[in-house]
Structure 1
Amino acid sequence: MTTTTYAAAYAQPPGRRYGLRQAARMEWIKLRSLRSTSYALLLTAVGMTATGVVTMANTKAPHGAHKVAAFDPTNNVLAGVALGQLVIGVLGVLVMSGEYSSGTIRATLAAVPDRRLALAAKAGVFGGLALLVGEVVTVGTFLAGRAALGAGVPHPSLDDPTVWRAVLMSGGYLAMVGLIGLGIGAVTRHTASAIGVLVGITYVLPALLAGTTGTTVAKFFPTMIAGNSLAVTVPVDGMLSPWAGLAVLCLYTAAFLTVGGRLLVRRDA
């Protein structure tokens, strides 16, 4: 980000103190000026859409009563969420940890001395953008993937409330993973370690636990919730319901942001 951009971001009107509105405006200027933001969001859109299209193009009509009952093309088309969560989550980490690595966190906290307010503004702006992009991309992926389905394969429709719920929850999931990444960045203040924690929570731990204990514990981890609770129209045995999974994800998000906020207040910049 250029010096001129920072000057605009941190400029405070004479005689006025920063509130949430001014802090959010500052965060928006910083976020949109970072090249990584555009690249990451573009990668999310392209990667998720391509994955959905390829998956649906290779989806065949089920045969047999058991396979027909378990057939869930909506879950198939949303397979790209596994890729999108990584990109959005890493972007969330960078939004926070990048300021520590560049030293600009000092300017941010000088402009907004209330550190909880600064974090709330950052989370609100980034979370809002991630939610908007997540919903647009998941809907677009669904429509593109459905068009790629071959003849004779049941086509899911957004007129079905369960399909609409799965698509919307998957878009919201991307935003929550982004905020989890931001919270982890506030906790560790180091990009590499924050990404390591994010990958461990979303990929490594659930895979290890699923292989050793089944779904008993693994079902409470974000990726398992996304793939087996939120993005399904046919319930998966042994997994959380969509709304229970959403509640658990909200707890993850709130916990990391709360811990990150407390540490941001207590530690030196």
Structure 2
Amino acid sequence: MTTATTPSPYRVTPRHVLRSEWHKLWSLRSTWVTLLSAAAVVLGVGLLMGATYTSDGGDSDVDTVVLVLYGTLLGQLCVTVLGILVTAGEYPTGMIRASLTVVPRRLPVLWSKAAVFTVAAFGSMFATALITFLAAQLLLRDTDQAAGLTDPGVLGAIAGNAAGITLLSLIALGLGAALRSVPGSIGAYIGGVLIVPEVLGMLPYDAVDSALKYFPTQAAGALGSATPIPGTAATGPALLALCLWAGASLGTAAVLLRRRDA
């Protein structure tokens, strides 16, 4: 006589790992602080740009979405720091050992962290960009920068802005998982992603200028404009380049996670 057994509700499955990482992400104070800080910076700068803009001020050639989302340049730093904290932040506390003990295959933990972070970062930044654009347009309605969501390229640029921040932050998340140090990962991100392209841009070679269009920050900038920006990559190639950078960062982290002790 055999006895039927029911699957344990506590066994490790991809769904359970995802749910665990989702609860872990939103239970951290740093998640709320960094995302709210990013939203406040983007919204604050957007309202400032809208309130101080005049049609004869010399910025009439700036893309409308770029103009009101200037705060993204600062807001993305908050989100990238969160990406680093999601992975590297667990090593000093020892939390990562508990996670990898429960999920000995290891990689599902990394993929789940990346997945829940992507949803949180893109959702919050898209909502922030959308609210900022609409609020700034209330101040710009009588200027030459007045625009609506139904204007060509506007909604796509708002979504592209959020996608750019998210993918840059996934690069940071991968660095955090690979380096296992919050200060080291922040330094690597600032040096490798922000400073190196600026240094390379000083070289007097056309090939370097062409390659720089597909570096992370330059590619992200191309996604957030409703109209093509001279000297930047087209939207499709820029998005592909950013995805490849993020994939390379996460792939490196995955290889190191499999080979090293927790």
Q: TM-score, normalised by structure 1?
A: 0.87
1:232 aligned partner: 225
Aligned residue pairs total 253
Secondary structure (helix, strand or coil) at the match of 2:47 reads: helix
Among 125, 140, 147, which residue is 1:149 paired with? 140
Q: Per-residue deviation at 1:16? A: 4.7
Contact residue 215 and residue 239 of structure 1 kept, 8 A? no
* Cα offsets for 1:176-201 (capped at 9, x unmatched): 12211110111111111101111123
| Percent of pairs with identical residues | 36
Check the 8 A contact 1:56/1:148 in 2, yes or no: yes
CA distance in 2, matches of 1:72, 1:56: 13
Mapped contact 1:62–1:71 kept (Cα < 8 A): no
Instruction: Say which of 121, 134, 140 aligns to 1:130.
Output: 121
State whether structure 2 residue 172 is matched by structure 1 residue 178.
no
Shift of 1:60: 2.8
Please, which of 39, 50, 55 is the counterpart of residue 56 of structure 1? Answer: 50
Match for residue 77 of structure 1? 68
Query: Would you say the 8 A contact 2:168–2:217 is kept in 1?
Result: no
Shift of 1:206: 2.6
> What whole-Å deviation, never above 9, does each CA across 1:16-52 have from its counterpart, x for those lacking one?
5311110011111211111111111110110011111
Quote the offset at 1:202 in angstroms. Answer: 3.5
Q: Find runs of 4+ consecutive structure 1 residues off by over 4 angstroms.
A: 13-16
Question: Match of 2:144, SS?
Answer: coil
Q: Equivalent residue for 2:4?
A: none
Question: TM-score if structure 2 supplies the norm length?
Answer: 0.89
Asked if structure 2 preserves the Cα contact closer than 8 Å seen for 1:157 and 1:163, the reply is yes
Residues 90-113 of structure 1, C-alpha deviations (whole Å, 9 max, x = no match)? 100011001111111110001111
State the distance in 1 between where 2:120 and 2:62 align: 33
Partner AA of 1:94 in structure 2:
L
1:207–1:218 Cα contact (<8 Å) kept: no
**SS of equivalent residue, structure 2 residue 83:** helix
Residues 113 and 78 of structure 1, relative CA distance in 2, 3 Å threshold: same
Quote the Cα distance in structure 1 between the aligned partners of 2:50 and 2:196.
28
Higher helix content, 1 or 2:
1
Counterpart-to-counterpart distance in 2, 1:82 and 1:185: 21
Residues 1:210 and 2:204 aligned together = no
Q: Deviations over 1:154-211 (max 9, x none)?
A: 3121102311111011011222122111101111111111011111234212322334
The within-5 A match list for 1:239-254 is 239-254=232-247
Q: 2 CA distance for matches of 1:197 and 1:170?
A: 23
Letter of the aligned partner of 1:45 in structure 2? A
User: Contact 2:164 / 2:224 at 8 angstroms: preserved in 1?
Assistant: no
Q: 1:226: Cα distance to partner? A: 2.5
CA apart distance, 1:73:
1.8
Task: Please say if residues 165 and 220 of structure 2, whose CA atoms lie closer than 8 Å, have aligned partners that are also in contact.
Answer: no
Unaligned runs of 5+ in 1: 1-12
**Distance in 2 between residues matched to 1:166 and 1:122, nearest whole Å:** 26
Spell out the pairing of 1:1-269 with structure 2 (5 A cutoff): 14=8, 16-61=10-55, 70-149=61-140, 151-213=142-204, 215-227=209-221, 229-269=222-262
Cα distance, 1:59–1:202 mapped onto 2, change above 3 Å = farther
Given that 1:186 and 1:260 are in contact with CA atoms closer than 8 Å, whether structure 2 keeps it comes out as yes
Inter-partner Cα distance in structure 2 for 1:91 and 1:145: 27
Distance 2:253 2:172 in 1: 11
Asked whether the 8 Å contact 1:74–1:142 carries over to 2, the reply is yes
- CA shift, 1:59, in A, is 2.8
- Report what 1:3 is aligned to: none
